[in-house]
A and B are shown apart, each in its own frame.
Chain A
Amino acid sequence: MGTRGRSKGPSMKIWKALVILALVAPLAYRLSWRNPRKVDSSGKTIVRYMAWGYPSQLNTEQKLIDAFNAANPDLQVTFIMAPMFSYYDKVQLMLATGTGPDVLRTNPEHFKRYIRLGYFRDLEPFMAADPGYHAEDFFKISRDAALYNGRHHGIGILLTKTLIYYNKTLFDEAGIEDPWQRYRKGQWTWDDYLEVAKLLTKTDESGRPIFGMSFPGNVYQAGTLIRAHGGDYLSPDGKKCLVNTPEAVDGVQWLKDLRWKWHVAPTPSQMALSVFSFESGRIAMELDSSGESPRLRDAIKDFRWDVAPCPRGDYDNGAGYGSHILVMNTGTKVPDAAWRFMRFMNGPEAETLLGVKLRRCIPSRRALAFSKEYLSADQSPFNMGAFVADIDAPQREFPYDERWLEWTDELTSHLDQVWLDLKPTKQVLDEAAVRVDMILNGETD
């Protein structure tokens, strides 16, 4: 007993010391924590740039960064690459902990909500102070992509368009006029698309099916078809979900019928793991972004393929342009250096490599997009006119509000029920509208 009593004193002191140490340690750690260095050992200003992409695209971006570093001896740009799968987890944690990159690429789905969180800078002062920046050089769709409350919080980069990729070999074998020719004749509507898909759906000699199209069931594709039928996801003020209006129900039903009524698209089981992907050669047409072109060029060796614009709907021109956005971290300590790098990545040299040569995107500069070098291709896709067709037509961006990811996640799980033919379309969309309205009205906060 006596021993225990005597040893209690130092034990308590040591415990107290440990607890104090534990409380102080994080503070000391935070105080000692240096934000990413602004200057490297040779005195160059460091600019940290972060992006995701396919290997061919990232390699091209690395080449551009090397060229920029060589031409700007006072700066050193370091490239942080992250896979798309975890890109925004990483971005979010880096920004929240004050270790974010100086410049990063984002997509429209995340752009506005990050601005609302205060992470991206208003670039208007930089644009106004830069005599070399001329807004009129760029397509309006590219400039508008980076607008928030009427002010530029980024620069449009990697302008893309939703296109129809088609297997030209299958079209030629079937003796069917291809989508590009049909488009040029003004015979390229969604009904034409369906009729062509019916003609191309067949079973090959081995007994395996070839489908007229892949199933366009993600929220972007479904949204395109809803708009083509005169509907929309949300009301213009973004406060009411419209997926259960007759027009939207028609659009979703039209999509569902591709699979279950007309059998021109693979079932969910067949679609698993891309066994019936476009590059497998067992899909005649696919609705996808122009950004897929470099990947498909690498993957497809056994057949000829090309692109055509999206079909027109009765209520939609099918233009379907979109853009990534290059943004500057609000917390950057080197804003001027960051701006110089952003201007380079949006400049003629970068757009020539990424757009004209790699054909990852459409140059956001009008002069480059309509240049002979860009429009005349020596490898697939050859129909480069499809990339810029309707580029000046009126655009309707999807409603990428701050709740976009939440309500589209809810909508996706409901659309699953339609695509799997579990319930009637109208019933599912009525249920979806109730849930999406709750999200839009903040009832799920």
Chain B
Amino acid sequence: MAGWRDVLGLPPAGPPGLDAPSGALARKIGLWGYLFIAPWIIGFLVFTAGPMLVSLALSFTTYNLAEVRYEGLHNYSFLTLKDPLFWKSLKNTAVYVAVSVPLGLTGSLLLAMLLNVRLRGISILRTIYYLPSLTPAVASALLWMWVFHPDIGILNYSLKAIGIDNPPGWLQSPTWAMPAMIIMSLWGIGGARMIIFLAGLQGISDHYYEAAKIDGANAWQRFVHITIPLITPVILFNLVLGVIGAFQVFTSAYVMTEGGPDNATLFYALYLYKNAFQFFKMGRASAMAWILFVILLVFTYIQFRHSRRWVHYEGGGE
């Protein structure tokens, strides 16, 4: 099992007494270490762990900002057994995750590969492709509302130009509102995910490609047998973060559709928000947050568990 020295790339420790600090020195080093990380630990305990525990407690109550009443598992049983919108919002979100995450990962990887070339001015191109992800989420949502406008939007204008006479109503159609949300999610393919893919691609030594070329491998074979296996840790990282982020999708629906039409874009986080801030059902919203937390925990666990079969670490580490 790799120790901390291996992780830091340090040589093996010498005999005890010569290498490891002990006594007062060890205490002093420990104290300084904890002092340095204290701001983060305190911040985490106060602003993350504390509120999480409070929300867990609230999930067993009815809390309308004025009165708290203990209700046991009522919120959980109501959501799962009696609330059709809970299941509707979960289904909508699952569809969004299932389609937008693979599409987004593929798009980001392809973009990263296009930008992973030695060209004059490539840095400028990389910056240009990164720019959309800097647009505030609300601003880009407003922009996309115009793109999706059924009558005067550029999307339907283009579709009509290529002969589709009756293009979709997009955000005004219960059938097409979800595809519109997924299309809009691709706006972010040039963001942090692409940068991480790019870093992963640049970490692959040219020697592998040169050796493969000498052995007669074509571009596709080099991509499938060298590029993909060597960036699987990066793919796993982006996949885990992508799934977590997609399950929490909120802004686009909040700004563009408010969950409509006919609840077609009622995402889980939006329904949670409505329970908390429109209906003052803080206990119900807390229960929803914890259900989402468990769902994400299970998904992440499955992804890590399954990753042993397809993620390859150079040097065999995990």
Q: Mark A93-136, 1 if CB is under 8 A from B, else 0.
A: 00110000000000000000100111000000000000000000
Which B residues touch A270, using CB under 8 A? 150-151
- Chain B residue nearest in CB terms to A445: B62
- Chain B residue nearest in CB terms to A11: B30
- Chain A residue nearest in CB terms to B38: A18
Find out whether the CB atom of A272 lies under 8 angstroms from the CB atom of B31.
Answer: no
A275 to B146 CA separation, bound complex (whole angstroms): 10
Q: Which of A11, A22, A271, A444 contacts B83 (CB 8 A)?
A: A444
- Chain A residue nearest in CB terms to B261: A416
Give the Cβ gap from A93 to chain B, nearest Cβ, in Å.
9
Give the Cβ gap from A192 to chain B, nearest Cβ, in Å.
30
A175 to B277 CA separation, bound complex (whole angstroms): 50
Find out whether the CB atom of A7 lies under 8 angstroms from the CB atom of B260.
Answer: no
Find out whether the CB atom of A7 lies under 8 angstroms from the CB atom of B27.
Answer: yes
Give the Cβ gap from B47 to chain A, nearest Cβ, in Å.
9
Stretch in A33-41, A230-238, A293-301, A405-413 touching the partner:
A405-413
Instruction: Check B172 for interface membership: any CB of A closer than 8 A.
Output: yes
Q: Which of A11, A23, A116, A118 contacts B34 (CB 8 A)?
A: A11
Supposing A26-B50, A96-B65 touch, asked if A275 and B41 sit within 8 A by C-beta, the answer is no
Find out whether the CB atom of B78 lies under 8 angstroms from the CB atom of A269.
Answer: no
Find out whether the CB atom of A92 lies under 8 angstroms from the CB atom of B65.
Answer: yes
Supposing A26-B46, A275-B151, A445-B62 touch, asked if A269 and B278 sit within 8 A by C-beta, the answer is no
**Tally of chain A residues near chain B (CB < 8 A):** 45
- Chain B residue nearest in CB terms to A95: B65
Find out whether the CB atom of B26 lies under 8 angstroms from the CB atom of A275.
Answer: no
Find out whether the CB atom of B146 lies under 8 angstroms from the CB atom of A273.
Answer: yes
Count of A-B residue pairs with CB < 8 Å: 114
In this complex, the interface size class of chain B, counting residues with CB under 8 Å from chain A, is 35 or more
A9 to B24 CA separation, bound complex (whole angstroms): 11
Q: Which of A3, A10, A26 contacts B20 (CB 8 A)?
A: A3
Q: Which of A271, A272, A409, A417 contacts B274 (CB 8 A)?
A: A409
Instruction: Check B216 for interface membership: any CB of A closer than 8 A.
Output: no
Instruction: Check B23 for interface membership: any CB of A closer than 8 A.
Output: yes
Q: Which of A7, A18, A417 contacts B30 (CB 8 A)?
A: A7
Which A residues touch B78, using CB under 8 A? 444
Find out whether the CB atom of B31 lies under 8 angstroms from the CB atom of A273.
Answer: no
Which A residues touch B269, using CB under 8 A? none
A-B interface, 6 closest residue pairs, ranked by CB to CB distance from nearest: A269-B150, A22-B45, A268-B172, A117-B66, A10-B27, A416-B262
B residues lining the A interface (CB < 8 Å)? 16, 20-23, 26-27, 30-31, 34, 38, 41-42, 45-46, 50, 62, 64-66, 78, 82-83, 145-146, 149-152, 169, 171-174, 259-263, 266, 274, 277-281
